[in-house]
């Protein structure tokens, strides 16, 4: 836990040179384009990345994450740790102290009551709060005094930096939202579209799914910041046109999430008007191998434990051969360019948790895969070009969401797998259905009525405990759970469950790192085939400086330090 306190000084120092150069509003007007437009400025009512990031200009939390995934005290004086007494020795509570002199943009003081209210607001049973996950395990939030907030947990919580940390659980003003609890939340349109915040900017005008006009918060706690006086936050269009408006026409200064053909983006950037910023968090594009049998002949027992294990994908040798046949660097180059790195881990970051035990997968080895299958006696016995596993021909149905990059990757992987004697049928499903989770639809990624499927997942924040608990035996999607559950490929290993339980009890960071790496290695040998560590890709105008791209928090987390080059 010591490292959190170490970085406080470092960040404070980093901010000094900028402060000496400019004053509030001296950089004029900033134009930001998000090609997906924000629908509301209340992140608790949406949960979408576009809403979380746009509201991070206005709403703030106790701490934010910088570009390395380190916590930076934001509204708090310092990061509470066990060493400084901020976290109780039994790890069941964390006590935050609000920095001195923080006010809302309307001039009133930020107090601990606002944090208590925020917790009440988000945990109201009828509210449908999208960030309720941040308050999981929180039994109460107490206002110790006007500037001290204590968050109490039901049980020992080794990583207590969830509630009020990061851009997804910011503090909202009790006075403004008092009448908006529970089912009344949608009635407060004015508050949801123009929240009063502590952040560097305040809302002047908000048009849902279109544009936000903001201006510098006159009551912001740093008298010299933000350097920009006004901001236009425009939404709409698509990634390519957003990139064009920064890199070719220069109408905008910052464009977010440029998921587009990497060669086109590189060509635009080569003109010199913009710089491409990339930051890597925890997103990994991966292939899941279904451990249960998705054969339609099984009827209701299809893709469930009751229907029996998959005829061949539960064998690690098969998974290993499928993994060896894939050329990850090529997939990365074609689909992601600078925005991706080949990876062999399902948990690629932070560095402490990243395993190096599987790096051999970075190099494609088709002859090796063929030799491996041949050696295991999995051969093509009837000469049709497809291997048989205990008499079952190795045919797989490979599904993913509809997306040009994914379909390119599918086609390449199909070709490589057919080279090693595994026939592959491709299927793609509209993203809103695939990720929609409708229990009545046969096409969701949770139902997994296919042999293998590919998508990206990640976790918010920097602690992987909850993420690694996704693959507990009990978390399989099944009819009894309305097909909900995070263990989509029905992985089940009692030894894995034991490691998850051990991690919950372990506070020591290095030990937690070891446990996480061990769990990662169990998963990637070989029921998950990790492909690409995906980063956020954004473009900023060459004249914009002070930007520090973080994939651990809102990309706009330090917008108060952004400025125009002189």
Partner 1 sequence: MLTYTIRRLILAIPTLLFISFVIFLIVKLSPSDPTAGLPLTIPPEVREQIRESLGVNDPVFVQYFKWLKLMVWDEPLHFIEGTTGWQVAPDGPRIISYQTRSPVMDLIAQRMPQTLWVVGTSYIVGILIALPLGIISAYKQYSVFDQVGTFISMVGFSVPTFFTGVLFIVIFAVNLGWFPSVYNTTHVVTDWDSFVVQLKQIIMPVMVLGLYNASQISRYLRASMLDNLNQDYVRTARAKGLTEKIVVLVHVLKNSMIPVVTVIALNVPAVFGGAIITEQVFKVNGIGQLLIIAIQSGDVPVVQTVSFIFAVLIVLFSLIADILYGVLDPRIRYD
Residues binding partner 1 (CB under 8 A): 33, 37, 39-40, 42, 45-49, 125-133, 183, 185-186, 189, 192-193, 205, 207-211, 213, 232, 234-238, 241, 244-245, 248-249, 251-252, 431-433, 435-438, 440-441, 443, 455-460, 484-486
Beta strands in 74-128 (DSSP E): 93-97
Q: Which is nearer to partner 1, 92 or 457 (CB)?
A: 457
Nearest residue (CB) to partner 1, 95 versus 465: 465
Q: Which residue from 48, 73, 42, 32 is spatially nearest to 166, judged by alpha carbons?
A: 73
- Which CB sits closer to partner 1, 111 or 444? 444
Q: Which is nearer to partner 1, 304 or 487 (CB)?
A: 487
- Enter the DSSP assignment of 540: E
- The CB-of-365 to partner 1 minimum distance in angstroms stands at 31
**Least distance (Å) from partner 1 to the CB of residue 194?**
12
**Least distance (Å) between residue 186 CB and partner 1:** 4
| Residue number, 189 or 382, with CB nearest to partner 1 | 189
- CA atoms within 13 A of residue 476's CA, in its CB half-sphere: 19
Quote the least distance from Cβ 113 to partner 1, whole Å: 25
Report residue 253: phi and psi, to 5°.
-100, -20
Cα angle 428, 468, 473; round to 5: 80
User: Which residue pairs from 4-9 have beta carbons closer than 8 angstroms and sit at least 24 positions apart in sequence?
Assistant: 4/70, 4/71, 4/79, 4/81, 5/78, 5/79, 5/81, 5/83, 5/84, 7/66, 7/70, 7/71, 7/72, 8/72, 8/73, 8/78, 8/79
Minimum distance from residue 86 beta carbon to partner 1 (Å):
26
Minimum Å gap between C-beta 355 and partner 1 is: 21
Q: How far apart are CA 289 and CA 452, in angstroms?
A: 5
**CB of 42 vs partner 1, minimal distance in Å:** 8
Closest by CA position to 149, among listed 86, 70, 210? 86
Give the residue with the Cβ less far from partner 1, 14 or 433. Answer: 433
Q: Which is nearer to partner 1, 438 or 493 (CB)?
A: 438
Which of left, alpha, beta for 340 (phi over 0: left; psi -120 to 50: alpha)?
beta
* CA 119 and chain centroid, separation: 22
Contact assessment for residue 120 and residue 181, using Cβ atoms and an 8 Å cutoff: yes
């Amino acid at each position: 836990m010591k490292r959190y306190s170490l970085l406080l000084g470092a960040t404070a120092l980093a901010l000094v040179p900028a402060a000496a150069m400019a004053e509030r509003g001296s950089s004029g007007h900033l134009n930001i384009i998000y090609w997906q437009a924000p629908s509301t400025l209340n992140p608790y009512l949406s949960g979408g990345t576009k809403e979380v990031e746009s509201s991070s200009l206005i709403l703030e939390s106790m701490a934010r994450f910088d570009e390395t995934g380190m916590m930076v005290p934001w509204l708090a004086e310092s990061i509470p740790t066990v060493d400084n007494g901020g976290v109780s020795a039994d790890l069941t509570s964390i006590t935050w102290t609000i920095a001195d002199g923080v006010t809302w943009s309307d001039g009133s003081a930020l107090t601990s009551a606002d944090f208590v209210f925020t917790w009440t607001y988000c945990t109201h049973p009828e509210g449908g709060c999208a960030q309720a996950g941040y308050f999981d395990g929180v039994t109460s939030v107490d206002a110790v005094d006007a500037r001290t907030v204590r968050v109490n947990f039901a049980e020992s919580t080794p990583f207590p930096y969830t509630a009020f940390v990061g851009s997804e659980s910011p503090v909202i003003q009790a006075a403004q939202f008092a009448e908006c609890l529970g089912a009344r939340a949608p009635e407060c349109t004015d508050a949801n579209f123009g929240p009063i915040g502590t952040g560097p900017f305040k809302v002047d005008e908000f048009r849902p799914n279109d544009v936000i006009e903001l201006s510098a918060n006159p009551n912001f706690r740093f008298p010299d910041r933000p350097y920009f006086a006004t901001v236009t936050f425009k939404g709409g269009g698509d990634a390519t046109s957003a990139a064009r408006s920064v890199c070719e026409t220069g109408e905008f200064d910052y464009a977010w999430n440029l998921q587009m053909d990497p060669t086109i983006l590189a060509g635009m950037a080569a003109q010199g008007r913009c710089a491409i910023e990339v930051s890597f968090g925890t997103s990994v594009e991966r292939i899941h191998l279904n451990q249960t049998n998705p054969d339609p002949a099984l009827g209701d027992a299809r893709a469930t434990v009751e229907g029996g294990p998959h005829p061949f994908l539960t064998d690690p040798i098969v998974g290993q051969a499928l993994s060896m046949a894939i050329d990850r660097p090529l997939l990365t180059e074609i689909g992601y360019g600078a925005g991706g790195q080949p990876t062999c881990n399902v948990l690629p970051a932070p560095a402490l948790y990243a395993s190096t035990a599987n790096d051999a997968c970075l190099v494609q080895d088709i002859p090796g895969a063929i030799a491996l299958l041949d050696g295991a006696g999995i051969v093509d016995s009837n000469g049709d070009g497809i291997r048989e596993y205990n008499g079952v021909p190795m045919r797989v149905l490979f599904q993913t969401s509809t997306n040009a990059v994914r379909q390119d990757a599918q086609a390449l992987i199909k070709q490589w797998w057919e080279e090693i004697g595994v026939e592959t049928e491709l299927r793609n499903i509209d993203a809103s259905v695939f990720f929609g989770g409708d229990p009545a639809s046969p096409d969701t990624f949770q139902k997994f009525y296919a042999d293998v499927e590919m998508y990206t997942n990640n976790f918010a924040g920097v602690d992987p405990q909850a993420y690694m608990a996704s693959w507990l035996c009990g978390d399989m999607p099944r009819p009894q759970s309305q097909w909900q559950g995070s263990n989509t490929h029905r992985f089940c290993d009692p030894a894995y469950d034991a490691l998850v339980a051990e991690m919950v009890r372990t506070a020591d960071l290095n030990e937690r790192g070891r446990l996480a790496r061990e769990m990662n290695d169990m998963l990637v040998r070989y029921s998950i085939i990790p492909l690409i560590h995906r980063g956020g890709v954004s473009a900023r105008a060459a004249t914009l400086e002070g930007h520090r791209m973080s994939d651990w928090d809102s990309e706009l987390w330090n917008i108060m330090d952004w400025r125009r080059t002189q």
